[in-house]
Homo-oligomer: A and B are copies of this chain.
Amino acid sequence: MNLKQLSEHLKLSQTTVSRALNGYPEVSEATRQRVMKAARDLHYSPNLRAKGLATGRAQAIGHVLPISTQHEMVNPIFGDFISGAGQAYAGAGYEIVISLVGDDDEEAAYRNIRLRGSVDGIIVHGPRMKDPRIPLLTELGLPFVVHGRASQIDTPYSWLDTNNLRAFTRATEFLLDLGHRRIGLINGLEFMDFAFRRREGYVTALTARGLAPDPALMRSGEMTEVYGFRSAQEMLAGPDAPTAFLASSMIAALGVRRAIHAAGLEMGRDVSVITHDDDLGYLGNGQDVPLFTATRSSVRAAGTRAAEMLLQLIREPGHPPLTQMMEAELIIGSSTGPARR
């Protein structure tokens, strides 16, 4: 069933039917009702491609996932984020288009997204500290919102981010307050902006207490379990081993726990661990588990919010950039208890 068929069925012109369906004021209320009813009864659903061609709007939002040989993992929160975003799009009649972009031909890929015209705006995922996509997209004039930030870019752009610096500052302070002086940092890849900011938070807290950050206690890598295990194992084997760890992901923290166990130590007695867990939001309520967390529902909320921001930018071209900071919750469970030092 297409517009033409529907209009013939109703003995009206396509124009009138189209107007009735799209809420134009000039159709009489009677016709509108009649059209609406027929559309429903006959299961009419407009062809988005045709509509897009005619209007120049795609009625779709692109979510771009950078796929790199250096960091192969797709962030597991992606599903939750997109499900939140989907909620915002659904109301506005937008579809979601996923684009996977390798780091080899990044510029061409984004230019093509623009030229192909299949999206009206995009959400940029996984920003690096000096992400070239931001000036590029600005130049291309394609509305976009970054999920995260790029610390080394000064020109204004729209973003929504978790306060990673503050989260790690607080976590570090918490451990310092418990008396820890040697705290291992098991961080993500630090060319990724979120990881860079987390380290900044860690370093900030240490230096504020007059402690010099020790490079031997800082690791940066792709956050797998094995990475967490090896990093913690090396630190624990070294001279002046850490009495606490700050892990940038639940998975890496799993490895850290295993290393602690393998060293014959006990979590919460000999060694404390705090995890930042926005990469596994569905952990539950974190009961008894010490962590900073962006829970599933907050990741979803972030997705919805980012989508709303983007839709606003699309609706109002020329609108100045929108930004939003989300604070991470700090949940400290019993097993963090003061470590024996």
A95 interface residue (CB < 8 Å to B)? yes
Q: Which of B58, B111, B296 contacts A72 (CB 8 A)?
A: B296
Residues of B within 8 A of A80 (CB): 73-74
A289 interface residue (CB < 8 Å to B)? yes
A270 interface residue (CB < 8 Å to B)? no
- Asked whether B100 lies within 8 Å of A83 as measured between CB atoms, the reply is yes
Closest to A285 in B: B226
A141 interface residue (CB < 8 Å to B)? no
- Asked whether B45 lies within 8 Å of A112 as measured between CB atoms, the reply is yes
Closest to A45 in B: B115
Q: Which of B52, B83, B118, B258 contacts A288 (CB 8 A)?
A: B258
Q: Which of B67, B73, B90, B282 contacts A73 (CB 8 A)?
A: B282
- Asked whether B98 lies within 8 Å of A86 as measured between CB atoms, the reply is yes
Residues of B within 8 A of A100 (CB): 82-83, 86-87, 90, 96
A283 interface residue (CB < 8 Å to B)? yes
- Asked whether A97 lies within 8 Å of B95 as measured between CB atoms, the reply is yes
Report how far A48 CA is from B95 CA in the complex, Å: 15
Residues of B within 8 A of A83 (CB): 65, 67, 74, 100
A135 interface residue (CB < 8 Å to B)? no
Residues of B within 8 A of A96 (CB): 97-100
A91 interface residue (CB < 8 Å to B)? no
Closest to A334 in B: B262
**Which chain A residues in 80-110 approach chain B with CB under 8 Å?**
80, 82-83, 86-87, 90, 95-100
Residues of B within 8 A of A82 (CB): 74, 98, 100
Closest to A1 in B: B115
- Asked whether B43 lies within 8 Å of A49 as measured between CB atoms, the reply is no
A284 interface residue (CB < 8 Å to B)? yes
Q: Which of B47, B49, B95, B296 contacts A99 (CB 8 A)?
A: B95
**Which chain A residues in 287-305 approach chain B with CB under 8 Å?**
287-289, 296
Report how far A284 CA is from B253 CA in the complex, Å: 13
- Asked whether A49 lies within 8 Å of B45 as measured between CB atoms, the reply is no
A324 interface residue (CB < 8 Å to B)? no
Report how far A254 CA is from B275 CA in the complex, Å: 14
Residues of B within 8 A of A226 (CB): 284-285, 287
18 contacts between A and B (CB under 8 A): A1-B115, A45-B111, A45-B112, A47-B117, A49-B52, A53-B53, A60-B97, A74-B82, A75-B79, A78-B78, A82-B100, A87-B100, A95-B97, A96-B97, A224-B283, A225-B284, A226-B284, A226-B285
Known pairs A45-B112, A97-B98, A251-B280 / 15 extra A-B pairs, C-beta < 8 Å: A45-B115, A47-B115, A47-B116, A49-B52, A49-B53, A49-B58, A60-B118, A73-B296, A82-B100, A83-B100, A86-B100, A95-B98, A96-B98, A225-B283, A254-B283
A residues within 8 Å of B by Cβ?
1, 43-50, 52-53, 58, 60, 63, 65, 67, 72-80, 82-83, 86-87, 90, 95-100, 111-112, 115-118, 224-227, 229, 251, 254-255, 258, 262, 280, 282-289, 296
3 closest Cβ pairs, A-B complex: A74-B79, A226-B284, A45-B115
